């Protein structure tokens, strides 16, 4: 034990050379005051026992370090990182810290131990690991067995450790044996100007061979800093004459080293430098595109999607990607559905690996989600004429539309039109399409990415249109959020036509514009790029036709360009003026015009006669809307002129406004176009 300089500490420091001396000197487990890790010998400790300790390596760390893995600038040793609140993430190990740091003004940071360890590795070309025996980094399991650490990564390539590894007990870093023997400099045929140096990819440059980028910038790459040229270690080790067999093409691909820009025939995206070619078909592609799956099942579409290298233009009516809505180049690769004739960019449909699965066999049958109906009888054409729907207790009979406008579909709550199923025992109606909905459904725009289950008779606020709803809907099996049926249908990927608009509309999760229907600013919207026509999701989901007691006919949702027939603009329901720039409902036969809010009401999407459980009343309550007489509310004593809850037992005579008893989140705060 001997005294040393105090390294800016207020008391003298003692140099402790072995572990026995340290145990005698310290009172408990102590940490190094620079790196924050458990102190070990050789180290320095305060002679006055104030708890100050330094590893000898940390104490001797230079104040400035010209690190070969960060060639652009020197690294400065700082007591705290210059960020708020002083923490940082080490660019080597990816772990955070609040202690001393080697910092560069370009936001490059190293723990002290990481900086010194990697500096020594670079200087010695990994030679310092040669004396360390090969071994597994093991942990003990609950039953006493040992296994390889699942989280153990090679500090060079940052891939999981396999087989035998170099292990450095002094610093706790592990390396594959092959990575420990990598040369510090490398001459590579892909970059003949300069040698490539083993370094950190601090600028997060993409690999010039495979095109991928390690966003965390951890691990090493071979790079040329002046040319901003980076190659992954694995890619750099591949033979220039490498031949790779493709799972998506009948012939193998060969590495092509002509360093010129090209457009990948598999995905249609531009590439630089290294490519792979098929000499038989004259196809040139990115390395990663060699492994593109031939067939996938995507959350973006109900049917499987097939990959192809080119299309004939006449195969598709609309060459628009169903995800980004930009044009698809048919001379290069894309995914398409042969049943629906819709097309997708490769990068759009495969960008998120959680959103698709690979279909291994081309003749593998598609397994759709279970239907919500059981067919009891069919006609000669194979059309189901008598069914059992799992959301209704009675059998349903297929019926033709006979113009009974007052009847609404119990699935979507829109007026009955076209073929529908009806119940002969009760007033229950379902559009044919609503009756045949699957019990489970994938909904691409739902961020939880879990399948959604078909539900009914649950009152909720729709996640998309914010309407209160209790008819058919889909509920996420993960986060339990609910989306009404009209929104699920409207947001299914594909082109949408609307009213008199001549171009297809596509849905954009983020689009700021002015809605043509209500005039308000949008966050997400249906948008026509050709003429900048915009509709809110909730405006798009409004019923095209609606029934109201003010008119014997169906009212049609109408564009303001159609109201030139009238010299004044009034609502025939509330008798107040209408904004001529806002859409409205109109009956052309009777010359009736009305605000959207007046026609639909505050709770247009709550299904009448359905049961609602209210805790403060002993009997089940039924959702009703009185049309002709208005009994007084049992809570507020005012007439029940809007949606109310009525006791299912006639002798009870209990009735309350919906707003008087429903929770706040089930009360409407918004009325369209009033």
For the chain, domain boundaries: 13-60, 64-129, 185-237, 373-436, 610-666
Q: How confident is the model at residue 103 (pLDDT cuts 50, 70, 90)?
A: very high
Distance CA 402, CA 418 (A): 9
Note the pLDDT of residue 146.
47
State what percent of residues in the chain have pLDDT above 70. Answer: 81
Of 645, 657, 591, 584, the C-alpha closest to 620 is 645
Which residue's entry shows tokens 């190990």?
Answer: 93
- pLDDT tens string 167-205: 654 555 677 777 777 887 888 777 778 888 888 776 778
CA 372-377-379 angle, 5° bins: 115
Distance CA 503, CA 666 (A): 36
User: Checking phi first, is residue 95 left (phi over 0); if not, alpha (psi -120 to 50) or beta?
Assistant: beta
Note the pLDDT of residue 268.
84
Which residue's entry shows tokens 């002290």?
Answer: 112
Q: Cα-flanking dihedrals φ and ψ of residue 476, to 5°?
A: -70, 130
Of 368, 372, 349, 345, the C-alpha closest to 299 is 349
Run of H or E residues at 271: strand 270-271
pLDDT above 60 for 32: yes
pLDDT above 80 for 259: no
Give the pLDDT mean for 246-271: 77
Q: How far is CA 329 from CA 168, 351, 506, 587, in A?
A: 52, 18, 19, 45
pLDDT above 50 for 596: yes
Q: How confident is the model at residue 364 (pLDDT cuts 50, 70, 90)?
A: low
Distance CA 2, CA 607 (A): 87
Residues 6+ apart with CB under 8 A from 136: 148, 161, 164, 165
State what percent of residues in the chain have pLDDT above 90. Answer: 1
Among the listed ranges 29-33, 598-602, 663-667, which one has the minimum average pLDDT value?
A: 663-667
Q: Are 344 and 323 in contact (CB under 8 A)?
A: yes
Which residue's entry shows tokens 């918004």?
Answer: 670
Token digits of residue 155: 């500090």
Q: How confident is the model at residue 545 (pLDDT cuts 50, 70, 90)?
A: confident
Question: Who wins on pLDDT, 76 or 243?
Answer: 76
- pLDDT tens string 436-472: 888 888 776 676 767 788 888 788 888 777 778 888 8
- Positive or negative: CA dihedral 115, 120, 123, 124: negative
Token digits of residue 126: 């990994």
pLDDT above 70 for 61: yes
What is the largest distance, in Å, between two alpha-carbon atoms of the chain? 106
Q: Which parts of 200-323 fold into alpha helices (H)?
A: 233-236
Token digits of residue 15: 């140099």
CATH of 610-666, picked from 3.30.60, 3.30.1480, 3.40.630, 3.40.50, is 3.30.60
- pLDDT tens string 381-432: 888 888 888 888 888 888 876 555 567 788 888 777 778 888 888 878 888 8
Residue 507 burial (CB < 10 Å; 0-12/13-18/19+)?
Answer: buried
- pLDDT tens string 472-487: 888 888 888 888 888 8
User: Checking phi first, is residue 554 left (phi over 0); if not, alpha (psi -120 to 50) or beta?
Assistant: beta
- pLDDT tens string 291-341: 888 888 887 777 788 888 877 666 665 677 877 778 888 788 888 887 777
Token digits of residue 603: 């709770």
């Amino acid at each position: 034990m001997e005294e040393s300089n105090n390294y800016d500490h207020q008391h003298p420091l003692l140099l402790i050379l072995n572990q026995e001396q340290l145990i005698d000197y310290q009172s408990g487990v102590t940490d190094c005051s620079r790196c924050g890790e458990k102190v070990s010998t050789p180290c320095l400790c305060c002679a006055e026992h104030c708890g100050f300790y330094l590893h000898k390596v940390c104490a001797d760390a230079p104040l400035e370090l010209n690190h070969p893995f960060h060639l652009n600038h020197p690294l400065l040793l700082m007591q705290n990182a210059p960020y708020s609140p002083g923490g940082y993430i080490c660019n080597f190990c990816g772990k955070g810290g609040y202690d001393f740091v080697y910092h560069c003004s370009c936001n490059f940071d190293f723990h002290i131990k990481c900086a010194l360890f990697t500096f020594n590795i670079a200087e010695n070309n990994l030679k310092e690991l040669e004396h360390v025996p090969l071994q597994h980094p093991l942990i003990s399991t609950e039953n006493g067995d040992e296994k390889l650490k699942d989280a153990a990564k090679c500090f060079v390539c940052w891939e999981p450790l396999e087989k035998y590894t170099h292990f450095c007990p002094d610093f706790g870093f592990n390396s594959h044996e092959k990575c420990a023997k990598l040369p510090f400099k490398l001459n590579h045929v892909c970059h003949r100007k300069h040698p490539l140096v083993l370094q950190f990819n601090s600028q997060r440059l993409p690999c010039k061979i495979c095109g991928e980028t390690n966003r965390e910038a951890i691990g090493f790459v071979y790079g040329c800093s002046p040319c901003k040229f980076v190659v992954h270690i694995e890619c750099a080790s591949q033979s220039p004459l490498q031949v790779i067999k493709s799972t998506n093409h009948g012939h193998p691909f060969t590495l092509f080293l002509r360093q010129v820009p090209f457009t990948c025939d598999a995905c249609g995206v531009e590439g630089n430098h290294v490519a792979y070619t098929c000499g038989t078909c004259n196809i040139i592609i990115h390395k990663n595109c060699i492994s593109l799956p031939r067939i996938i099942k995507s959350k973006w579409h109900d049917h499987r999607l097939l990959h192809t290298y080119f299309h004939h233009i006449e195969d598709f009516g609309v060459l628009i990607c169903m995800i980004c809505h930009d044009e698809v180049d048919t001379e290069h690769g894309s995914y398409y559905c042969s049943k629906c004739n819709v097309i997708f960019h490769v990068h759009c449909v495969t960008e998120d690996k959680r959103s698709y699965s690979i279909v291994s066999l081309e003749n593998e049958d598609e397994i759709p989600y279970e239907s919500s109906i059981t067919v009891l009888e069919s006609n000669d054409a194979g059309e189901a004429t008598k069914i059992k729907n799992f959301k209704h207790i009675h059998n349903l009979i297929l019926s033709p539309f006979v113009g009974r406008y007052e009847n609404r579909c119990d699935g979507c709550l829109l007026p009955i039109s076209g073929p529908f199923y009806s119940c002969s025992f009760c007033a229950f109606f379902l559009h044919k399409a609503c009756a045949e909905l699957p019990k489970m459904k994938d909904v691409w725009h739902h961020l939880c990415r879990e399948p959604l289950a078909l539900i009914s008779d649950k009152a909720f606020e729709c996640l998309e249109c914010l309407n209160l709803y209790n008819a058919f809907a889909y509920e996420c099996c993960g986060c339990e959020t609910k989306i009404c049926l009209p929104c699920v249908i409207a947001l299914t990927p594909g082109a949408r036509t609307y009213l008199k608009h001549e171009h297809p509309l596509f849905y954009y999760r983020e689009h700021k514009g002015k809605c043509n229907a209500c005039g308000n600013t949008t966050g997400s919207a249906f948008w026509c790029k050709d003429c900048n026509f915009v509709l809110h999701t909730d405006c798009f989901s409004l019923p095209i036709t609606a029934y109201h007691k003010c008119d014997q006919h169906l009212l049609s949702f109408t564009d303001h360009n159609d109201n030139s027939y009238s010299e004044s603009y009034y609502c025939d329901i509330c008798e107040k003026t209408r904004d001529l720039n806002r859409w409205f409902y109109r009956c052309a036969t009777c010359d009736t015009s009305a605000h959207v809010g007046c026609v639909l009401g505050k709770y247009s999407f709550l299904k009448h006669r359905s049961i609602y459980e209210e805790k403060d009343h002993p009997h089940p309550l039924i959702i009703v809307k009185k049309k002709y007489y208005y009994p007084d509310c049992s809570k507020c004593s005012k007439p029940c002129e809007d949606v109310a809850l009525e006791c299912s037992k006639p002798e009870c005579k209990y009735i309350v406004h919906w707003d008087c008893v429903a929770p706040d989140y089930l009360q409407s705060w918004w009325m369209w176009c009033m």
